[in-house]
Amino acid sequence: MTVQITQGLKPEAYYDQSVYDQELQLIFARTWQLAGLASELAKHNDFLTVQVAGKDIVVQNFDGKIKAFLNVCAHRHARLHEKSCGNNPLRCPYHGWAYNSEGVPVGIPGNKPFFNFDRQEKASLALTSVDVAVRGPLVFVRVEKGGPSLDEWLGTCGPHLDEMAPLFADLFDRDEAVWHANWKVAVESTLEGYHIPYVHKTSFSPMLEGGDEPAEQADLVLDEDSRLIELGHHSYGIAPLSDDGRASIGRYVSRLGLQKSTHYKGYDHFFLFPNMTVLISGGTVVGAQIYEPMGPEATHLRFWMLLPPSTKPAQRASAAGHAVEQKLTEFNDLVLEEDRIISESVQKGKHQTHRPAVLGTNERRIALFHNEWRKVI
């Protein structure tokens, strides 16, 4: 039997400052990055703030128009919004300068006696705009102008976002965390099932078929019931749920009247290059995650958890519904914490060797990720 083994990235790619600087400019400034959910920007004056490629960005709803700008006031450079999300006009908290949908400071307290700016002069002070686009349930931004449109960048992954959009009906958890590991280490922890029976032995492993048999689980991506689908720059992994996994999700569906997807039935895992995942369990429980670089050895993880619409709204809003939310939140927090711990261990190990990692055939998604990275860096 011939097995194709792939060589990973050099260890220094995970901690070298010059590599990190290149990544910010050549990858993160040029690719579409997840800002948040469309539902978080549904109302006038809803906003999100994110950091992309070292730039602070605000995304805001202006009477239904979604616009994005650098999150800095043209007057004395205060941040316009400090919170990660909320509902407020785009107004500077320092001196009250207020901006319209074009980023122009149309409301300047004391303009006549203090500045006497006319309309043209105000327009010259407009905020720096940032590309923003929506596809399905998600909102994306891009720092560097030009390049492929969002739909072009998503490619064949775009229709999947459209298909899964109805599942993004009910946001019940939104949180963030800092991992002391390079963003690529964090991403790699999501791209293979090889580690699941060891890192997630009593948490996630029992949810997947073969979870009680580490040797079988290790070859998850090679099972006839499992598939790896390349989607251009992105990839899509499918794994079957165990009987216990299906039963557990089935109980939530029955109890709360959740409307399952008929298209996604197992553990469906989408990876959008360079640093985003969307996970669907049993066509019901949805998770979205983005691993944002904070430095060569630090990653900011933002994540959301959602459920589809319910045919039993009273039951969904009851104590039973909140109990399901809590259980799912605790489960997700546990799995992410287990991934954080092992990722931080891997990060320390990168400093102790000069040999690249060795990737087996069951780690092909990591190899695909590395190939996309090498095309740029």
DSSP 184-227: HHHHHTTS-STTHHHHSTTTTGGGBTTTT-HHHHHTGGGSTT-E
When pLDDT is averaged across residues 148-175 and rounded to a whole number, the result is 96
**Is 89 contained in some domain?**
yes
Do 192 and 84 lie in one domain? The reply is: no
Do 216 and 303 lie in one domain? The reply is: yes
What is the model's pLDDT at position 222?
A: 37
Q: What is the spatial distance between Cα 152 and Cα 201, in angstroms, rounded to a whole number?
A: 39
Express as a percent the part of the chain with pLDDT over 70: 95
Do 193 and 328 lie in one domain? The reply is: yes
What is the model's pLDDT at position 209?
A: 87
**Is 272 contained in some domain?**
yes
What is the model's pLDDT at position 342?
A: 98
Do the Cβ atoms of 59 and 36 come closer than 8 Å? Answer: yes
Do 95 and 206 lie in one domain? The reply is: no
Q: What is the spatial distance between Cα 333 and Cα 329, in angstroms, rounded to a whole number?
A: 6
Do 106 and 223 lie in one domain? The reply is: no
Is the per-residue pLDDT at 151 higher than 80?
yes
What is the model's pLDDT at position 214?
A: 44
pTM of the prediction?
A: 0.94
Q: What is the spatial distance between Cα 249 and Cα 240, in angstroms, rounded to a whole number?
A: 13
Do the Cβ atoms of 67 and 89 come closer than 8 Å? Answer: no
Q: Is 258 helix (H, G, I), strand (E, B) or coil?
A: strand
- State the residue for tokens 């960048």: 153
Work out whether the CA dihedral 176, 18, 31, 82 comes out positive or negative.
Answer: positive
Considering 109, 142, 175, which residue would you say is the last residue of a domain?
142
**Is 1 contained in some domain?**
no
Check whether the bond before 274 is cis (ω within 30° of 0): yes
Do 104 and 246 lie in one domain? The reply is: no
Q: What is the spatial distance between Cα 315 and Cα 325, in angstroms, rounded to a whole number?
A: 13
Structure tokens at 179: 């991992």
**Average pLDDT of every residue of the chain:** 93
What is the model's pLDDT at position 361?
A: 87
Do 167 and 136 lie in one domain? The reply is: no
Is the per-residue pLDDT at 274 higher than 80?
yes
**Is 92 contained in some domain?**
yes
Considering 87, 108, 142, which residue would you say is the last residue of a domain?
142
DSSP 3-state percent helix, strand, coil across the chain (nearest 5): 35, 30, 35
71 DSSP assignment: S
- Angle between the 243-256 and 319-350 helix axes, to the nearest 10 degrees? 140
Q: What is the spatial distance between Cα 256 and Cα 328, in angstroms, rounded to a whole number?
A: 14
What is the model's pLDDT at position 229?
A: 79
When pLDDT is averaged across residues 154-172 and rounded to a whole number, the result is 96
Whichever domain contains 104, its CATH number is: 2.102.10.10
**Is 20 contained in some domain?**
no
Give the confidence band of 228 by pLDDT, cuts at 50, 70, 90.
Answer: confident
What is the model's pLDDT at position 2?
A: 57
Structure tokens at 154: 């998503």
Give the confidence band of 226 by pLDDT, cuts at 50, 70, 90.
Answer: low
What is the model's pLDDT at position 4?
A: 75
Do 171 and 249 lie in one domain? The reply is: yes
Is the per-residue pLDDT at 129 higher than 80?
yes
- In tens, the pLDDT along 65-106 reads 999 999 999 999 999 999 999 999 999 999 999 999 999 999
Among candidates 302, 266, 1, 313, which has minimal Cα distance to 169?
A: 313
**Is 10 contained in some domain?**
no
Do the Cβ atoms of 200 and 190 come closer than 8 Å? Answer: no
Domain extent at residue 161: 155-376
Considering 142, 175, 208, which residue would you say is the last residue of a domain?
142
Among candidates 289, 306, 286, which has minimal Cα distance to 340?
A: 289
Q: List, in sequence order, every beta strand (DSSP E) within 253-284.
A: 267-272, 276-281
Do 113 and 160 lie in one domain? The reply is: no
Do 131 and 46 lie in one domain? The reply is: yes
Do 122 and 198 lie in one domain? The reply is: no
Do the Cβ atoms of 181 and 297 come closer than 8 Å? Answer: yes
Is the per-residue pLDDT at 26 higher than 90?
yes
Q: How many domains does the chain have?
A: 2
Q: What is the spatial distance between Cα 48 and Cα 139, in angstroms, rounded to a whole number?
A: 10
- State the residue for tokens 């251009």: 232
Give strand pairing partners of 267.
Answer: 239, 281
Do 213 and 184 lie in one domain? The reply is: yes
DSSP 115-148: I---HHHHHHTPPPB-EEEEETTEEEEESSS-SS
**Is 248 contained in some domain?**
yes
Q: Which CA distances in Å does 172 have to 134, 269, 276?
A: 21, 20, 19
When pLDDT is averaged across residues 302-312 and rounded to a whole number, the result is 97
Helix residue spans in the chain (DSSP H): 17-23, 119-124, 150-154, 158-164, 183-188, 196-199, 214-218, 243-256, 313-316, 319-350, 364-376
Over the Cα atoms of the chain, what is R_g? 22
For the ranges 8-17, 207-216, 297-306, 358-367, which has the lowest average pLDDT? 207-216
Whichever domain contains 222, its CATH number is: 3.90.380.10
What is the model's pLDDT at position 211?
A: 59
- In tens, the pLDDT along 311-322 reads 999 999 999 999
